[in-house]
Amino acid sequence: MKAALLTPLLAALWSAPAPAGGVAGDFDYYVLSLSWQPAWCRTTGDGRDAPECDGGGGRDFVVHGLWPQHERGWPDHCDTDERDPSRRQTQAMADLMAPGLALYQWRKHGRCSGLSAAGYYAATRKAAERIAIPAAFDDLDRDLALVPAVVEEAFIEANPDLAPDGVTVTCKAEALAEVRICLTRDLEPRACAPDARRDCARPQVLMERTR
């Protein structure tokens, strides 16, 4: 094969995610994903009559998940001898995420952590509790259009141990979708690997007011 063709091929192979599946407990770090709930409610939750989207809840950033990652790619739906969580365990996560989401996150990501369901939920809670949500986004009472970097900077200001290469801001269409924070297996801040460091490229994102 000519060198001119080989170089792009190798680059494509290197950038491709690892195949789905994996061995429970075999991963390098975590991504804590925080979803901007007003945007999720408008695009998805309202159509499902999701109770967490009812007015008066005042929810802003909520936990989407805690995801085991490789330095390149990520595992999911791993085989494990650990039991699925009980209804009581998923209900106990309701202050962080909807119980149905808690179950889904366990099945897709938690099984890859090598932890029990209880241990995975405890790690998710510990990771979420160590991240301070910027005060400017608490009970946001009006829609804002912000440069994605401003959202990132607000998180770093509220959490001085975070660094720019450890925080990623994502968007969906014109709206802010998630803030993703990379953590070690011990839940300490670290840099994101290149394939998890994909910031929103839009010049501005919409942050809808909380409900």
User: Per-residue pLDDT for the chain (211 aa), expressed as one digit of tens each?
Assistant: 333 433 443 333 333 444 457 899 999 999 999 999 999 998 888 888 888 888 767 689 999 999 999 999 999 999 999 999 999 999 999 999 999 999 999 999 999 999 999 999 999 999 999 999 999 998 899 999 999 999 999 999 999 999 999 999 999 999 999 999 999 999 999 999 999 998 999 999 999 999 8
Specify the pTM: 0.87
Q: Are 117 and 151 in contact (CB under 8 A)?
A: no
User: Is residue 154 classed as helix, strand or coil in its secondary structure?
Assistant: helix
Sign of the Cα pseudo-torsion (203, 58, 66, 106, in order)? negative
**CA dist., res. 91 & res. 101, Å (int):** 10
Torsion-angle region of residue 19: left (phi > 0), alpha (psi -120 to 50) or beta?
A: beta
Distant-in-sequence, close-in-space partners of 174: CB < 8 Å, separation ≥ 6:
202, 205, 206
User: Helices (DSSP H) in the chain: which residue ranges?
Assistant: 3-15, 37-40, 87-91, 99-108, 117-129, 148-158
Which residues of 46-99 form beta strands (DSSP E)?
61-69
Q: What radius of gyration, in Å, describes the C-alpha atoms of the chain?
A: 18
